[in-house]
Structure 1
């Protein structure tokens, strides 16, 4: 479980669309506060998903080869196949149309007018829900009778949110330097967004497929 959550959490942390959106939130007027409520709502979603899974399982992992265990592995396999297909589709589409660079100026202007509540509402919409669902399917095997499981789940939430937390702290304590560096990061991500999406989708997808097949056949 720990290895699966490590890879999934890392994939969520570097997911280009979420990172780009958060950089834009921080760049908006009152961005530090908007970023804070965004992160709180982001974490609340993770906690809610994990709590729902643990309430369903009672904090006890299903027996190997049991219907719940098989269903969890099948869900991860389906998500993995979907991510591989998505990454391949984006790769082929980029080959046909060529690289595209989209201006975010209009979006930044709209974010300036967003309230804190709206910023919080954006967090659930911008989470990579395919990866979040894969994490939820992995948590089915968590045994909450051991302290290590609590640490693993805490580390998963922290890792998945690490990129947002680092940017928020940086912007809070070094706003001038952060504005310059985050602007460069946004430009780089927007320029390489397609390649990054393809890489994250393919790597995470292939990992989930291989792990799920191993669990289903072992």
Structure 2
């Protein structure tokens, strides 16, 4: 479980769409405060979703080969397969010549005027829900009676938020330097967004598929 959550947490933290949106939010009026609201909503969403899974299982992992255990593995397999298909589709689309320059999404231009409530809503909306769902399917095996499991789940939430926390702290304590460097990071990510999505989708998708098949057949 720990290795799966490590990879999934890294995928969530490095997803270019929420990272780019967060950088734009930091550059808005009262951006640091709105960024903090974004992070708190992001974390709260992760914690609530994981808590619901733990509540459903009673904090006790289902027996191997039981219906709940098999269903969780099948769910991870489906999610992983979907990520592989999406990543491969995206990879093939990169080969096609682009006839028009990439335009930023319409919502990106409005981030300067968003309210705190909208910033919180964006945190929920922009979470990579495919990866979050894979994390939930993994947490089905969590044994909450063990302290290491609690620490693993805490580490997963922290890792999935690490990129946002790093940028928030940077913008808080070094605002001038952060504005310049995060602006360059945003430009780089916009130019390489598709490649990052392909890499994350294929790597984590293939891991989920292979690991799920192994556990289902062993």
Q: Normalising by structure 1, what TM-score?
A: 0.96
Could you tell me how far 1:23 is from its partner in structure 2? 0.9
**Partner of residue 58, structure 1:** 58
Match of 1:161 in 2: 161
**Deviations for 1:21-55, whole angstroms, at most 9, x for unmatched residues?**
11111111111011000000000110111110000
Q: CA deviation at 1:99?
A: 8.6
SS of the residue 1:165 aligns to: helix
Cα distance, 1:93 vs structure 2: 1.4
Report the CA distance between 1:4 and its aligned residue: 0.4
Distance in 2, matches of 1:59 and 1:213, equals 24
1:75-130, CA deviations, whole angstroms, 9 ceiling, x for partnerless residues?
00000000000001111112124397534496554111110111001011000000
Distance 1:113 1:211, change over 3 A: same
Instruction: Find the counterpart in structure 2 of residue 116 from structure 1.
Output: 116
Aligned to 2:134: 134
- Structure 2: how far apart are the matches of 1:4 and 1:99? 39
Q: How does 1:78-89 map to 2 (within 5 A)?
A: 78-89=78-89
1:108–1:73 distance in 2 versus 1, CA, 3 Å: closer
Q: Distance in 1 between matches of 2:170 and 2:100?
A: 30
2:71 corresponds in structure 1 to 71
Segments of structure 1 that go 5 or more residues without pairing to the other structure are none
- 1:174 matched to which residue of 2? 174
Is the contact between residue 59 and residue 144 of structure 2 (CA under 8 Å) also seen in structure 1?
yes
The alignment of Structure 1 onto Structure 2 pairs a total of residues equal to: 218
- What is aligned with 2:96? 96
* TM-score normalised by structure 2 residue count: 0.96
> Does structure 1 conserve the Cα–Cα contact (< 8 Å) formed by 2:21 and 2:108?
no
Q: Name the residue aligned to 1:205.
A: 205
Distance 1:100 1:199, change over 3 A: farther
Runs (5+) with no aligned partner, structure 2: none
CA distance in 2, matches of 1:100, 1:87: 22
Q: Is the 8 Å Cα contact of residues 23 and 182 (structure 1) preserved in structure 2? A: yes
Question: Does 1:43 pair with 2:43?
Answer: yes
Structure 1 residue aligned with 2:192:
192
